[in-house]
Amino acid sequence: MVDLEYLKLSRGQKMVHRLMSYLKRLPGRIARGFLKMLNAIGLFFKHIVEEVRDVGQTFIQGDFKTRTSFFIMGFGSIARGQVFRGLLFFLFQVIFVLYMVFFGGYYLSKLDTLGTVETVKKGRVTVYGDNSFLILLYGILTVFFIIAFLYTWRVNVKQNKIGQKLQKEGKKLKSAKDDLAAFADHQFHKTLLALPTLGIFTFTIVPIIFMVLVAFTNYDYTHQPPGKLFTWVGLDNFYNMLGTGTANFGDTFRQVLFWTLVWAFFATFLNYFLGMMVAIMINKKGIKLKKMWRTILVMTIAIPQFVSLLYVSKMFAADGIINSYLMNWGWISKPLPFWTDGTWAKVTILVINIWIGIPYMMLIATGILMNIPADLYESARIDGANAVQTYAKITLPYMLFVTGPYLLTSFIGNINNFNVIYLLTGGRPLSLELAGNAGHTDLLITWLYKMTVNDTNYKMAAVIGIIVFVVTAVINLVVYNMIPSVKNEEDFQ
């Protein structure tokens, strides 16, 4: 049934109505999501049980070749004439055994303590002990290698089961030539994705897992390997960061998080609406030299931010050109505290970011505005709509519908906008009331950088990294399902 009252609402009222409806349904969605998660966990364990049962049945019903392959991978394949496939299985097993005996087993055995033998000096000689960093890193890699081995072993068992069945039926098994041809035919996707997958695993997945695990250790400047060991501390770092610890990180974290969200909101929506207004003014009929105005704005994009932001930061310094001119003109008697007062610094950063962000949004809005049907504006003028009503009923809804995903990604990007904050202020002004060398203008990402590079407080930096992920993930999940371009593709007609 069509809700007539809802249809009478304005575009903004509809968005508020959707938000309130979403919040009302949120507890139910969370409960359903939790039930789905439990169901997924149950299905996973059910699948594991089925796999174990199948392995047992394969061993019981298998012939000598199949049973031997349980202990010597590839034996059954080689015995059935699939020499190439069998040699690959056997080679992988040999590599795994050698790795575990001479390398991985040591690091895996130390993973629960991250090392017990400290580095000591005996006279002029340094006797190195355990290295907690390497133990954690190679321990993670060893765990993944074990998982890969178990998966390969399971594939080996399945291959023997299939091979035994095909032999009983008198069918021909695949040869090495067939296997190689498959990787250039119906298995070609695996050939293409093998190298990228390895790269993602090595340079993305492993570092992320390492960072997450560091958050549960005491890895900082007082526990630097190889000179010192670090160990597991459980959730102590999270207690400190969220305010139940004794390191005063709780108040600092709340202030930095609040400023991060405020910054992301204004940096996103000020640039969005002002950039749209600039595009509307340039595209308006009767405006001359449109290309020149667009070129001037685009020039700010062409200049690297590293250069422009550092220059602008000097302009607003106490002895910079802005304060100098204002004092020479007699407008002020002493320099304005653009970078030395927390509130002044935050407002100044927001204003400067407008100068940086408007050109990008102007270019995006220009392309979208040119695609709005002119008939809509003509009909609005015939109906007597003024410029404000035309913008509110036609231009803004169209822009929001098309650029909804862009707004979301821009907001998330501003939460992690390192360049603007660090190049303008470096997080300053600092305060003795803030822990972890944080400043009044620090975002979570710049605070994380300081902890990592300046303070070498890796444990708390890892905690911040996890929290940044949680915050951005929650915002993404909630907002993405609310924007019109995703929720109702047919909404704008």
**Spatial contact of 266 and 346, defined as CB atoms under 8 Å apart:** no
Residue 64 and residue 127 in contact, taking contact as beta carbons nearer than 8 Å: no
Structure-token pair, residue 254: 């709340």
**Quick check: 210 and 433 in contact, CB under 8 A?**
no
- pLDDT tens per residue across span 183-235: 778 778 888 888 999 999 988 999 999 999 999 999 988 888 888 899 999 98
Whether the predicted pLDDT of 469 surpasses 50: yes
Per-residue pLDDT tens for 31-90? 776 777 788 888 888 888 998 898 899 899 888 998 999 999 999 989 988 888 899 999
Distance separating alpha carbons of residues 124 and 279, to the nearest angstrom: 71
CA–CA distances in Å: residue 277 to residues 64, 415, 476: 78, 24, 27
Within 285-370, strands assigned E span none
Q: Residues 120-172: pLDDT tens digits?
A: 887 778 888 899 999 999 999 999 999 999 999 999 999 988 888 888 888 88
Which pLDDT tens digit goes with each residue over 33-50?
677 778 888 888 888 899
The C-alpha angle 291, 293, 295, rounded to 5 degrees, equals: 65
Q: How far apart are the first and last CA of the chain?
A: 19
**Distance, CA of 315 to CA of 376 (rounded, Å):** 46
pLDDT, average across residues 315-326? 90
Closest CA to 460 of 437, 442, 439: 437
Q: Kindly report the backbone phi and psi dihedral angles of residue 243, in degrees, each rounded to the nearest multiple of 5, phi listed first.
A: 105, 0
Lowest-confidence range among 196-205, 302-311, 407-416? 302-311
Strand partners, 126: 121
Are residues 142 and 129 in contact, defined by beta-carbon separation less than 8 angstroms? no
Residues 6 or more apart whose CB falls under 8 angstroms from that of 428 comprise 339, 340, 345, 439, 440, 441
What pLDDT is attached to residue 163? 87
pLDDT for 1 = 41
Tell me the one-letter amino acid at 61.
Q
Report the candidate in 390, 397, 355, 402 with the shortest Cα–Cα distance to residue 284.
390
Task: Provide the sign of the torsion angle of the four alpha carbons 177, 181, 187, 192, taken in this order.
Answer: positive
Question: What stretches of 27-104 adopt beta strand conformation (E)?
Answer: none
For residues 359 and 485, give the distance between their C-alpha atoms in angstroms, rounded to a whole number. 24
Amino acid at 321: I
Question: Before 27, cis peptide (omega within 30)?
Answer: no
Q: Is 99 in contact with 145 (CB distance < 8 Å)?
A: yes
* Mean per-residue pLDDT, 348-370: 87
Cα 224 to chain centroid distance, Å, stands at 27
Q: Is the pLDDT of residue 331 over 80?
A: yes
User: In residues, how long is the chain?
Assistant: 493
The dihedral built from the CA positions of residue 260, 266, 269 and 274, taken in this order, carries a sign that is negative
Encode pLDDT of 436-461 as tens digits. Answer: 888 999 999 999 999 888 888 899 99
Does 285 score more than 80 pLDDT?
A: no
d(CA 116, CA 232): 12
Cβ atoms of 415 and 464 within 8 Å: the answer is no
Q: Distance (Å, rounded) from C-alpha 402 to C-alpha 491?
A: 11
Residue 240: count other Cβ atoms within 10 Å of its Cβ. Answer: 21
